[in-house]
Amino acid sequence: MRRKRNIPQLKKRKRRFQPEPDKIKTGQSLTARLLAYLYQKGRTVSLNQLMQDMNLARSTKEELTPLLQKLAAAQIVKVNGNRQIALGRSHKLCEGILDKNARGFGFVTKLWSKTGRAEYKRDPYISQSRMGQAQHGDRLLIQVQRIRKDGRAEADIIAILQRGFDNLAGFAQIQGKHIMVTPEDPRYPMNIRVQGQIPPNLNDGDAVIVKLIEGAEGKGTIIDVLGDPASIDVQMRLVIEKFNLPHQFSSEALIEAQTGAEGLDLNEERDDLREIQLVTIDGETAKDFDDAVAVQKTRKGFRLYVAIADVSHFVRPGTILDQEAYERGTSIYFPGRVIPMLPEHLSNDLCSLVPDQDRLTFTAVLDFDRHGHRTGKRFAKSIIRSHKRFTYTTVSRILIDRDPALRREHKPFLTPLKWAQELATELMHRRRERGSIGFTMPEPEIGLDETGHIESIGRAERNFAHHMIEEFMLAANEAVAETFTENKLTALYRIHERPDPLKVEEFSTFARALGLDVPPPRHDPDWFGHVLDLVKGSPREYVINNLLLRTMQQARYDTANLGHFGLAAADYTHFTSPIRRFPDLMVHRTLYSFLRREKKLNEKQVEQIREAGTALSARERLAVSAEREMNARLKVRYMQDRIGQDFAAVISGVNGQALFVELTNLFISGAVSMRELRDDSYLYDPKRFRLIGERSNRTFQIGELIQVTLLDVDTTRNRINFTLTADQPTKSEETKST
């Protein structure tokens, strides 16, 4: 595998237009203009002032007067006796960000109103016919018109308050003396005519970055030529652009990272743990080592040291470096590449727990009895020296395979590794016993060669060493969260709320339709574990795990401790990865403040932590989406040279238009269109989630193993299409029932 390196950087650029109030784009109607004006004004104005500010002619007064009367009757505006005008209590106006679909309609997210937070059960819907000139990412002023039976609000666009992005990625088309750029993101259904100087290195079809010209719809200038879109590096640049990922540190932040770490202060009060035989255990290509561990045998059981890089020593609140790390929220990992949360000087050097170097850490010291019950905990700023850099593979071969050569090579570490194995085994047993849900969702591993081309796609290996380190990290995270709860501290918890009962019921109905003997739904982790046990080792295991996972709510960060359903943990937080996760850095600061007995937070500080939890949860979801997008692009390009090849697959979904499949060895998704099922006319059976042949009674059902042949790929939409392999074994309804 190739060593990870940082993404090639784009030029730093401002992202959003900042229009003056008089440049806000409103609807053409007088009503829209009036409501946008009153909302922006935010206070009572006279009729004369209103007409002057809106640049209305005197002749418009005849139209304006009855309009004001109509809106006042509906309590959308209020007009007092001396003709003072303001918004009424039923104006139903709010701001939000447009999430536009490629098909033209959209939803308005992140709602907010000057009169308070706008509360709707579901994001308001904007139909294509009401979209006007609004584009994906724009900040809009909308007015809710009605609430549908399903709870979805429908709204009209009153004004475009702020354009979403001033730069777009797209593909250049050279048309004689003119150049048009088609945006890569289908949510921007427009062509951009290029103005100004044409870069001399531009070729037809190149990926480019265009800066939109403010006030000139559909026009822009090329500010960067990315190159051939077939290149993986160019694809990564396009993903960065699509998700608006910050990836370039300012010079001020880089200086702070450098000057804030000019030598370690060994005189400050820290536990000296350099003699403890701490080791790091990570993947082969890892460079940022967050954690080091050591296990000692004690008279009553075990002592576990979990030493975590003390990022808070180098990244101080209020600095530019702190702000830029917060804006990232997390490191983002692409195959062979990483966009780090912290500058490389910190993430790969001074904060990284490399072997044989003194490093500052925040260490959890946890005591357990022989059965894995925690009997004590303490936390301390410390200084350590990693005694060895292990990989998961090496540790697994030492402990599980008992490789003679590796055991001889690492003889000084055999005993502490054996103790670590014993403790981890007890912790695993304890966690399963309390009901922690053990989803088995294999993750793909995409290997690149030295030139950056895709070399392989396969299942990422998870061995005992992975599980061992995971148990130690979970133990530290729970111990820190428990400390917060015991002392009633305001802190960021990692919470995972109970699943939606309706979704669980729908899954239960679906599982029974597949023939699974699922017990009546219970909203506790044990029920989920039982369902997973029913399909363990079967062809349906992946599909059922995936569908059951969809019933779950997303884990998030919050100051309200609602517990972690998936882990069956009453108290949980993230403490163990501050190099790559900003919430962990905040947790370090909270814990250290408590240990130093600093004064309690004021209301403003409490609210800041709460808001940070919401923002960092959103950044995490964005990072996951970007990583999935990059993987999807690479998978499509990996498959484009395999047209006509056959693959084993499992049916992962069925509807009236297609079978959806997952290749069993490559974890690549695709579809078999109904047009490709040519041996019969198939009907969709929604009650049993299957297709049935009208003449043959042949069935295709979720979880069934089939053979497919690659038909074509669409690198523009990242879609892969299959057909059924010619020699497909058939299965009829009669055969299935016997």
| Buried-state track 574-601, b at ≥16 Cβ within 10 A, e below 16 | bbbbbbbbbbbbbbbbbbbebeeeeeeb
Measured distance CA(489)–CA(560) in Å, rounded: 10
Mutual angle of helices 501-513 and 541-550, in 10-degree steps: 160
The strand pairing partners of 701, in sequence order, are: 690
Pure H helices in 181-279 = 232-242, 251-259
Give kind and range of the element (H or E) at residue 322: helix 320-328
Measured distance CA(515)–CA(330) in Å, rounded: 42
Greater model confidence, 13 or 254 = 254
Measured distance CA(649)–CA(651) in Å, rounded: 7
Q: Has this prediction a pTM greater than 0.75?
A: yes
| Cβ(660)–Cβ(653) below 8 Å | yes
Q: Judging by beta carbons within 10 Å of its beta carbon (0-12, 13-18, 19+), is residue 671 exposed, middle or buried? A: buried
Query: What is the CATH number that goes with domain 167-242?
Result: 2.40.50.140
pLDDT at 21 over 60: no
Side chain identity at residue 321, one-letter code: L
Greater model confidence, 287 or 118 = 287
pLDDT tens for 569-581 read 999 999 999 999 9
- Residue boundaries of the structural domains of the chain: 21-162, 167-242, 263-495+559-628, 501-552, 640-737
pLDDT at 30 over 50: yes
Best CA proximity match to 703, nearest among 490, 542, 536: 542
Residue by residue, what is the 3-state secondary structure of 175-194?
ECCEEEEEECCCCCCCCEEE
Measured distance CA(136)–CA(104) in Å, rounded: 10
Greater model confidence, 117 or 332 = 332
pLDDT tens for 207-231 read 999 998 876 778 999 999 999 998 8
Rg for the chain (alpha carbons), in Å? 29
The stretch 103-111 carries a mean pLDDT of 90
Q: Judging by beta carbons within 10 Å of its beta carbon (0-12, 13-18, 19+), is residue 177 exposed, middle or buried? A: exposed
pLDDT tens for 673-690 read 999 998 899 999 988 888
pLDDT at 14: 40
Measured distance CA(366)–CA(342) in Å, rounded: 29
Greater model confidence, 152 or 7 = 152
Q: Tokens for 280?
A: 């790091």
pLDDT at 23: 46
| The domains spanning 167-242 and 640-737 adopt the same CATH topology | yes
Measured distance CA(245)–CA(325) in Å, rounded: 12
Measured distance CA(708)–CA(704) in Å, rounded: 12
CA dihedral for 313, 317, 322, 325, sign (positive or negative): positive
pLDDT at 115 over 80: no
Best CA proximity match to 384, nearest among 423, 357, 404: 357
pLDDT at 658: 93
pLDDT at 262: 60
pLDDT at 101 over 80: yes
The stretch 83-101 carries a mean pLDDT of 89
The stretch 78-98 carries a mean pLDDT of 87
Q: Tokens for 177?
A: 């003396």
pLDDT at 265: 59
Q: What length is written for the chain?
A: 738
pLDDT at 77: 92
What percent of the chain has a predicted confidence (pLDDT) above 90?
A: 62
pLDDT at 737: 40
The stretch 446-452 carries a mean pLDDT of 84
When pLDDT is cut at 50, 70 and 90, the band that residue 403 belongs to is very high
pLDDT at 7: 40
| Parallel, antiparallel or unpaired: strands 658-663 and 690-693 | unpaired
pLDDT at 331 over 50: yes
pLDDT at 398 over 70: yes
pLDDT at 633 over 90: yes
Query: What is the CATH number that goes with domain 640-737?
Result: 2.40.50.140
pLDDT at 712 over 70: yes
pLDDT at 444: 84
The stretch 124-144 carries a mean pLDDT of 91
Flag the least confident range among 249-253, 444-448, 576-580.
Answer: 444-448
Measured distance CA(334)–CA(5) in Å, rounded: 10
| Cβ(108)–Cβ(138) below 8 Å | no
pLDDT at 443: 82
Best CA proximity match to 593, nearest among 485, 491, 481: 491
Greater model confidence, 514 or 625 = 625
Count the Cβ atoms, other than its own, within 10 Å of residue 324.
22
pLDDT at 351: 95
Give kind and range of the element (H or E) at residue 141: strand 139-147
pLDDT tens for 260-314 read 666 555 556 899 999 999 999 999 988 889 999 999 999 999 999 999 999 999 9
pLDDT tens for 524-533 read 888 998 899 8
- Taking the mean position of all CA atoms in its chain, how far away is CA 206? 29
pLDDT at 4 over 60: no
- Within 8 A by CB and 6+ apart from 1, the residues are 284, 285, 336, 447, 448
| Cβ(294)–Cβ(278) below 8 Å | yes
Question: Average model confidence (pLDDT) for the chain?
Answer: 89
- Within 8 A by CB and 6+ apart from 183, the residues are 168, 169, 170, 190, 192
Residue that is written with structure tokens 């490789």 in the block:
403
Residue that is written with structure tokens 């354009």 in the block:
163
Q: Judging by beta carbons within 10 Å of its beta carbon (0-12, 13-18, 19+), is residue 408 exposed, middle or buried? A: exposed
Flag the least confident range among 1-10, 77-86, 317-326.
Answer: 1-10
Measured distance CA(459)–CA(454) in Å, rounded: 15
CA dihedral for 275, 287, 293, 463, sign (positive or negative): negative
3-state secondary structure of 448: strand
Q: Does the structural domain 21-162 have CATH classification 3.40.50.1010?
A: no
The stretch 234-258 carries a mean pLDDT of 93
Query: Listing from the earlier edge strand, what are the strands of the sheet with 5-6?
Result: 5-6, 337-339, 332-334
| Cβ(133)–Cβ(149) below 8 Å | no
| Cβ(330)–Cβ(581) below 8 Å | yes
Give kind and range of the element (H or E) at residue 607: helix 603-639
The stretch 36-56 carries a mean pLDDT of 90
| Cβ(485)–Cβ(561) below 8 Å | yes
Measured distance CA(50)–CA(33) in Å, rounded: 11
pLDDT at 359 over 90: yes
pLDDT at 666: 87
CA dihedral for 688, 690, 694, 695, sign (positive or negative): negative
pLDDT at 442: 77
Give kind and range of the element (H or E) at residue 546: helix 541-550
- Taking the mean position of all CA atoms in its chain, how far away is CA 34? 39
pLDDT at 12 over 60: no
Q: Judging by beta carbons within 10 Å of its beta carbon (0-12, 13-18, 19+), is residue 41 exposed, middle or buried? A: middle
When pLDDT is cut at 50, 70 and 90, the band that residue 453 belongs to is confident
pLDDT at 422: 98
When pLDDT is cut at 50, 70 and 90, the band that residue 349 belongs to is very high
| Cβ(273)–Cβ(264) below 8 Å | no
Greater model confidence, 537 or 179 = 179
667: left (phi over 0), alpha (psi -120 to 50) or beta: left
pLDDT at 20: 42
pLDDT at 624: 96
Greater model confidence, 66 or 575 = 575
pLDDT at 154 over 90: yes
pLDDT at 3 over 80: no
